[in-house]
């Protein structure tokens, strides 16, 4: 789950990590008032769940409260398109009005769960700022990576190593090392999947502040963070992904034309591979989960069909707790409700009540190709063109 920059900064502030003074505003009047309250040059920052705002015109440095108001009225209500959003962008509903910093250096600090390292990896670079992606691509040696042992935690020498790698002034080594420990504690206590401070600004007057902050949380841990769960902002998400979330269906929109409905995340990924093997591409990842009923199947198919790119459907079900006849009934309900009809379907069903499920589909008026294995599924998808 993602949150806004201003929310991430509140969390950092509580965790003892210095952030610039700032005020959130949802109107240009509020932004102007925030500007006068801060009483200095300010930056007006579009609050969206996407990075790359600076390059997309979402960050404006202004000299007066009037200019802050004007910048806010330009941003609020518009959509920001960055390299991390789709072409339609994401809506700006608020801005963060923040004291402008006199930047001496822009550093990068990040922490992420790394599956291959089996824990949190801390990343740091002297070359922070808006071009960090290029740095990672072209001069990866400029990014220091340290894997943290989950049992030992971030050790003091590792925190110091990060501080040295950032080449901070001698008197900043201790504060930076302390900041890294606090960040790591925060990462664990909030069940983060990612923390990114880019830039961590070293100011001309010798301060170090998190000028930008990104915090992502592990969705599966949200049940134990009621306060954080409230920060969920569905407007910033893909509307279909948000809809799927309401039904407890894992759905990720992709750009192919084969709508995939599968139970189990691993099988869902294998099914996407099958569509590629057929020379086509998946329109989505979808794991309908274990205990689905026919209504949930129908809702999952509705979400798949809401994507205008979908021209055919591949259903791949290994019936266990989820019975194949329930899936077939769900598909029939979805077909009845589908305004533009149901596109041709390739269906592989195995396991509990597979015969009954197949029979229901066979006897329906739907355009269904029943297959027994994934090879046949690929061929059948290919045959649909």
Is residue 315 within 8 Å of residue 283, measured between CB atoms? Answer: no
Catalytic residue among 67, 98, 196, 251: 196
Kindly write down the DSSP assignment for every residue of 317-358, as one continuous string: EEESSS-HHHHHHHHHHHHHH-TT-PPPEEEEEEETTHHHHH
Q: Which CB sits closer to ligand GDP, 65 or 199?
A: 199
In the residue annotation, 184 being an active-site residue is answered as no
What are the distances in angstroms from CA 122 to CA 112, 146, 245? Answer: 7, 5, 30
The residue from 30, 67, 106, 287 that contacts ligand GDP (CB under 6 A) is: 106
> Per-residue x/- marks for ligand GDP, 32-51, CB under 6 A?
-----------x-x-----x
CB of 315 to ligand GDP, least distance (A): 40
Residue number, 237 or 243, with CB nearest to ligand GDP? 237
Q: Provide the token pair at 10.
A: 């509140």
194 forms part of the interface with ligand GDP (CB under 6 A): no
Residue 196 annotated to the active site: yes
Give Cβ neighbours of residue 192 (< 8 Å, ≥ 6 apart): 111, 186, 215, 216, 217, 218
Rg for the chain (alpha carbons), in Å? 25
From the CB of 51, what's the least distance to Mn ion, in Å? 6
Single residue of 212, 257, 307, 325 touching ligand GDP by CB under 6 A: 212
∠ CA 201-204-205, nearest 5°, is 105
Q: Which does 129 bind (CB under 5 to 8 A by kind): Mn ion, ligand GDP, none?
A: ligand GDP
Closer residue to ligand GDP in complex, CB, 32/366: 32
- Residue 103 three-state SS: strand
Region 211-250 residues binding Mn ion, contact defined as CB under 5 A: 212
The residue (of 100 and 374) whose beta carbon lies closer to ligand GDP is: 100
Residue 59 binds ligand GDP, judged by CB under 6 A: yes
Give the one residue of 10, 13, 26, 54 binding ligand GDP; rule: CB under 6 A: 54
CB nearer to Mn ion: pick between 198 and 271: 198
**Contact between 211 and ligand GDP per CB under 6 A:** yes
Catalytic residue among 6, 108, 184, 251: 108
Rounded CA-CA distance 339/321 in Å is 30
Per the document, the length of the chain is 385
Position closest to Mn ion via CB: 212
Residue 287 CA to residue 266 CA, distance in Å, equals 9
The nearer residue to ligand GDP, 80 or 317, going by C-beta atoms, is: 80
Decide if residue 198 touches Mn ion (CB under 5 A). yes
Residue with tokens 């274990």: 290
**Cα–Cα nearest to 42, from 67, 5, 70, 10:** 67
230 Cβ neighbours under 8 A, 6+ residues apart: none
344 part of the interface to ligand GDP, by CB under 6 A = no
How many Cα neighbours within 13 Å face the side chain of 75?
31
Is residue 285 classed as helix, strand or coil in its secondary structure? strand
**Residue 245 site contact among Mn ion, ligand GDP, none (CB < 5 to 8 Å, cut-off depends on kind):** none
Least distance from ligand GDP to the Cβ atom of residue 52, Å = 5
Q: Which residues bind Mn ion (CB under 5 A)?
A: 198, 212
Q: Which residues bind ligand GDP (CB under 6 A)?
A: 43, 45, 51-54, 59, 61, 100-101, 103, 106, 129-130, 198-199, 211-212
Catalytic residue numbers read: 108, 196
């Amino acid at each position: 789950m993602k949150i806004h920059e201003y929310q991430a900064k509140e969390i950092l502030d509580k965790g003892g990590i210095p952030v610039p003074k700032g005020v959130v505003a949802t109107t240009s009047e509020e932004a102007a008032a925030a500007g006068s309250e801060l009483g200095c040059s300010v930056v007006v920052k579009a609050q969206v769940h996407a990075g790359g705002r600076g390059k997309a015109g979402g960050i404006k440095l202004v000299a007066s409260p009037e200019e802050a108001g004007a910048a806010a009225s330009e941003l609020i209500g518009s959509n920001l398109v960055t390299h991390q959003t789709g072409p339609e962008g994401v809506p700006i509903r608020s801005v963060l009005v923040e004291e402008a910093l006199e930047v001496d250096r822009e550093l990068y600090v990040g922490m992420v769960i790394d599956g291959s390292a089996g824990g949190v990896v801390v990343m740091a670079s002297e070359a922070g700022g808006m071009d960090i992606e290029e740095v990672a691509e072209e001069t990866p040696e400029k990014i220091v990576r340290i894997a943290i042992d989950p049992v030992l935690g971030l050790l003091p020498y590792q925190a110091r190593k990060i501080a040295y790698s950032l080449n901070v002034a001698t008197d900043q080594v201790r504060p930076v090392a302390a900041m890294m420990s606090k960040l790591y504690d925060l990462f664990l206590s909030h069940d983060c999947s990612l923390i990114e401070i880019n830039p961590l600004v070293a100011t001309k007057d010798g301060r170090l502040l998190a000028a930008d902050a990104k915090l992502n949380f592990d969705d599966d841990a949200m049940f134990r963070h009621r306060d954080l769960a409230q920060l969920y902002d569905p407007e910033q998400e893909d509307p279909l992904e948000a809809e799927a979330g309401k039904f407890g269906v894992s759905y990720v929109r992709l750009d192919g034309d084969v709508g995939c409905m599968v139970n189990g995340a691993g099988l869902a990924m294998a099914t996407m591979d099958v569509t590629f093997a057929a020379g086509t591409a998946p329109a989505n990842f979808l794991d309908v989960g274990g205990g689905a009923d026919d209504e949930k199947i129908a809702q999952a198919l509705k979400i798949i069909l809401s994507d205008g790119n979908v021209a055919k459907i591949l259903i791949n079900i290994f019936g266990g707790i989820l019975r194949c006849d329930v899936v077939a009934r769900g598909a029939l309900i979805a077909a009845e409700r589908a305004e533009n009809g149901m596109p041709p379907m390739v269906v592989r069903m195995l396991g509990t009540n597979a015969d009954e499920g197949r029979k229901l589909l066979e006897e329906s008026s739907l355009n269904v190709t029943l297959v027994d294995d994934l090879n046949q599924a690929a061929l059948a998808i290919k045959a649909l063109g």
